[in-house]
Amino acid sequence: MPRVPTGESVTSRAIRVVEAFGVDDTVLTVGEIARRSGLHVATASRLIEELVVAHWLERTETGVRIGVRLWEVASRASPAVGLREAAMPFMHDLHHVIGNDVQLAVREGVEVLFLERLSAPTPVVNYSRIAGRLPLHASSSGLVLLAYADSSVLDEVASRPMRSFTDKTITDPGQLRATLAHVRREGYALCAGHIFPSTTGIAVPIRGGRGEVVAALGLIVPNDDAAFGRIPALKSTARGISRVMSGGAAGLSDPSHDSPLND
């Protein structure tokens, strides 16, 4: 692998170019990519041209965007594809019954990565978005994923300053550990006003074939007394997805499969 004079590989710099694109960025200029990646404009320009030739990036009239080829390769290889395919029929059922935002998330390091989101035409504010991230300690999905993660992940989260979104956000390590114990005991996380004062996040675990937690299924609902009543439907939906993830694919075509419609 060729290396630049600083000792950083060309591949590492190419990764910095691609990762300059944030969740809200459709198109970036070469100058913006250079600034975000910390590369000299000439270096960024050269790498961008190579990635364009490979169809990992595409040029537009106003700049550069992620190429279809990069999406194709990532989609083909990612284990998240199977998770999403298993979850979507159940998520649509839940979305139809509950009428609020439904989302699917996995853990990526000390952050939540949202793979899918079904939005509802309601005034509820939802901070998450597809391919967006949040710190584990702040959201219901994050707390579920952290509750079942290796203890080293919790130690890492607890050792860092925890960002506060509202005065309800968990920022104390002791409170975090107590909350995670509650999640493991009750099988859900309910975060009223942790991201926005007017919303409540609820999440439950999705399990794989060995019983391990592979994802979190969440709801974003109004911060009111009705939030708690949505937990049974959310748990039922997660059980259906978990059965498919563990090999019971017949559940997708079986009308008796776990569904909020059957609760």
DSSP string, 200-249: EEEEEEEE-TTS-EEEEEEEEEESSTTGGGGHHHHHHHHHHHHHHHTT-G
The answer to the question of residue 135 being in a domain is yes
The answer to the question of residue 86 being in a domain is yes
The answer to the question of residue 95 being in a domain is yes
The answer to the question of residue 128 being in a domain is yes
Q: Are residue 83 and residue 180 in the same domain, yes or no?
A: yes
Q: Are residue 38 and residue 146 in the same domain, yes or no?
A: no
Distance CA 61, CA 81 (A): 32
Distance CA 243, CA 245 (A): 5
Query: Residue 134: its pLDDT value, please?
Result: 92
Encoded tokens for 194: 């942790």
Strand partners, 59: 64
CB 187 within 8 A of CB 235: yes
Amino acid type, 247: G
Q: Are residue 50 and residue 87 in the same domain, yes or no?
A: no
Query: Residue 245: its pLDDT value, please?
Result: 87
Using alpha carbons, select from 40, 42, 36 the residue that is nearest to residue 17. 36
Query: Residue 184: its pLDDT value, please?
Result: 97
In degrees, to the nearest 5, what angle opens at C-alpha 169 toward C-alphas 167 and 170?
Answer: 120
Query: Residue 126: its pLDDT value, please?
Result: 54
Q: Are residue 84 and residue 128 in the same domain, yes or no?
A: yes
Query: Residue 81: its pLDDT value, please?
Result: 66
Which residue ranges in the chain fall short of pLDDT 70? 1-7, 23, 74-81, 121-131, 248-263
Q: Are residue 180 and residue 232 in the same domain, yes or no?
A: yes
Distance CA 17, CA 15 (A): 5
The answer to the question of residue 4 being in a domain is no
Query: Residue 99: its pLDDT value, please?
Result: 87
Distance CA 173, CA 189 (A): 17
The answer to the question of residue 228 being in a domain is yes
Q: Which domain holds residue 95?
A: 79-262
Distance CA 263, CA 260 (A): 5
Number of separate domains in the chain: 2
CA 12 to chain centre: 24
Q: Are residue 242 and residue 187 in the same domain, yes or no?
A: yes
Q: Are residue 201 and residue 248 in the same domain, yes or no?
A: yes
Q: Are residue 243 and residue 190 in the same domain, yes or no?
A: yes
Q: Are residue 22 and residue 150 in the same domain, yes or no?
A: no
Question: What are the CA-CA distances from residue 19 to residues 91, 237, 248 (Å)?
Answer: 29, 34, 37
Q: Are residue 14 and residue 60 in the same domain, yes or no?
A: yes
Query: Residue 2: its pLDDT value, please?
Result: 41
Distance CA 85, CA 262 (A): 21
The answer to the question of residue 89 being in a domain is yes
SS3 state at 115: strand
Q: Which residue has the tokens 């609020």?
A: 100
The answer to the question of residue 2 being in a domain is no
Q: Are residue 185 and residue 62 in the same domain, yes or no?
A: no
- The 10 Å CB-count burial string (b at 16+, else e) for 231-249 is bebbbbbbbbbbbbbbeee
DSSP state of 1: -
Q: Are residue 206 and residue 184 in the same domain, yes or no?
A: yes
